[in-house]
Amino acid sequence: MTDLKQTVLHSLHLELGAKMVGFAGYDMPVQYPLGVMKEHLHTRAAAGLFDVSHMGQILLHPKSGELADAALALETLVPVSILALKEDRQRYAIFTNADGGIMDDLMVANRGDHLLLVVNAACKDADLNHLKAHLSDSCVITPIENRALLALQGPAAETVLAPIAPVVTDMKFMDVATLDTDFGTLCISRSGYSGEDGFEISVEDLHADALARALLGHDACEPIGLGARDSLRLEAGLCLYGSDLDETTSPVEGALTWAIPKARRTGGDREGGFLGADRILLELENGPSRTRVGLRPQTRAPMRAGTVLYASQEATSPIGTVTSGAFGPTIEAPMSMGYVATEHAEIGTVIYGDVRGKRLPARVSNMPFHPASYKR
């Protein structure tokens, strides 16, 4: 454990009594004295502050000076529309490989003269190398090394942040703004990973501790660890890369087709042109052999990652596997997501998970399990 990296807020986590664990090569808080269940419920009811500084922040500047050139270059690596992304807006994207699998999922923001990418911690070195290997001719690719990243989530997030950055009251879901504050220049997006309204805040390392303390000084805000972050995102039906998505899974199998616009599909203005397009476009036309689904176990026993799924109690051949599963504090019931053969993916279908040698029923369910409350 001694070789784990630390975020700039590591000392603050220890001061706040966090239980630390290794995650994606970093020593990270999994929970605070409040505990995972109460942290989860507090975020749903008020506001929670997460340290997500382990994630990667990368800048793409077009060498031509024309942002459209950087957008088109990035479109060779993602099956989404970057060209249509308006200034001061961001969207979800997916790095695909030559086989049509997912290398990482990420957020891309249009900052006027450049693009800002936020990528997953475990993938950030590989993502940076991937970008340099494919886009160096057209873009200057710069990893941000001196900025922390905080996520402020929950219905009171705006109330907590507005005294520091009043402009956030005018921001809508997926808006991005760069603001001068008493804590230096902040790059703020109205987004997050909990299904709640909230913000992600990029702040210079030298101001990160003071900003975190200021936010936590509000009565509505509590520090939240990775444990509650996971249960919140699962209730919201959001994927965790490395668990629900990986290099063998296509965006179509992963039920991420909503992120692939008409312009990038067969017959579109910019059809294909991204890594793995042959497989992905074929699956969009014909459907995949398996697909990611939500599952609501019909007993109180959670079906956790690795649970093998069957079509019936008597079936000998599995039809899929759970990739994420936990108890949902807000819905007060177990919840899972995983992959099943497409013929078993219809909403309402009852399938069976092998839990400690017993076949227990689960119903294929719509996601999210708890409705999102983004500010549209």
> How do residues 270-313 score in pLDDT, each as one tens digit?
999 999 999 999 999 999 999 999 999 999 999 999 999 999 99
One domain, residues 229 and 293? no
Structure tokens at 238: 């959001």
Q: How does DSSP classify residue 343?
A: G
Query: Is the residue at 198 inside a domain?
Result: yes
Q: For the stretch 87-108, what's the b/e string if a residue is b when 16 or more beta carbons lie within 10 angstroms of its beta carbon?
A: ebbbbbbbbbbeebbbbbbbbb
Task: Check whether 10 has a pLDDT greater than 70.
Answer: yes
Query: Is the residue at 75 inside a domain?
Result: no
Query: Is the residue at 67 inside a domain?
Result: no
What is the predicted pLDDT for the residue at 26?
A: 97
8 A C-beta contact, residue 198 and residue 152: yes
Query: Is the residue at 240 inside a domain?
Result: no
Task: Check whether 1 has a pLDDT greater than 90.
Answer: no
One domain, residues 42 and 175? yes
What is the predicted pLDDT for the residue at 215?
A: 98
Task: Check whether 7 has a pLDDT greater than 90.
Answer: yes
8 A C-beta contact, residue 326 and residue 246: no
Domain CATH code at residue 226: 3.30.1360.120
Query: Is the residue at 167 inside a domain?
Result: yes
Q: How confident is the model at residue 354 (pLDDT cuts 50, 70, 90)?
A: very high
The number of angstroms, rounded, from the C-alpha of 218 to the middle of its chain's C-alpha atoms is 26
Which range of residues forms the domain containing residue 365? 289-376
One domain, residues 324 and 191? no
| Percent over 90 (pLDDT), the chain | 99
Cα distance between residue 262 and residue 249, in whole Å: 21
One domain, residues 44 and 189? yes
What is the predicted pLDDT for the residue at 169?
A: 98
Domain CATH code at residue 346: 2.40.30.110
* Among candidate residues 235, 263, 281, the one where a domain is terminated: 235
Query: Is the residue at 268 inside a domain?
Result: no
One domain, residues 309 and 227? no
One domain, residues 42 and 160? yes
Per the structure, the count of domains in the chain is 2
DSSP labels for 217-274? Answer: TSTTEEE--HHHHHHHHHHTT---BTTTB-TT--TTTTT-GGGS-GGGSTTSTT---S
One domain, residues 226 and 299? no
* Among candidate residues 192, 220, 235, the one where a domain is terminated: 235
When computed from its CA atoms, the radius of gyration of the chain, rounded to whole angstroms, is 21
For residue 93, the SS3 value is strand
Q: How does DSSP classify residue 18?
A: P
What is the predicted pLDDT for the residue at 244?
A: 98
One domain, residues 35 and 150? yes
224-255 per-position pLDDT tens digit: 999 999 999 999 999 999 999 999 999 999 99
One domain, residues 177 and 45? yes
Query: Is the residue at 120 inside a domain?
Result: no
* Among candidate residues 235, 260, 279, the one where a domain is terminated: 235
Structure tokens at 20: 């630390």
Cα distance between residue 54 and residue 49, in whole Å: 15
One domain, residues 371 and 297? yes
Element (H, E) at 310: strand 308-310
Amino acid sitting at position 109: A
33-60 per-position pLDDT tens digit: 999 999 999 999 999 999 999 999 999 9
Structure tokens at 367: 């996601």
Mean pLDDT of 334-342: 98
One domain, residues 150 and 231? yes
Amino acid sitting at position 244: D
What is the predicted pLDDT for the residue at 63?
A: 98
What is the predicted pLDDT for the residue at 252?
A: 98
What is the predicted pLDDT for the residue at 359?
A: 97
What is the predicted pLDDT for the residue at 302?
A: 92
Task: Check whether 2 has a pLDDT greater than 90.
Answer: no
Tell me how crowded residue 254 is: count the other CB atoms within 10 A of its CB: 23
Q: How does DSSP classify residue 66?
A: -
Query: Is the residue at 225 inside a domain?
Result: yes
Closest among 48, 45, 5 to 28, alpha carbons compared: 5
One domain, residues 159 and 222? yes
What's phi and psi for 218, nearest 5 deg?
A: -75, 140
Q: How confident is the model at residue 191 (pLDDT cuts 50, 70, 90)?
A: very high
What is the predicted pLDDT for the residue at 24?
A: 95
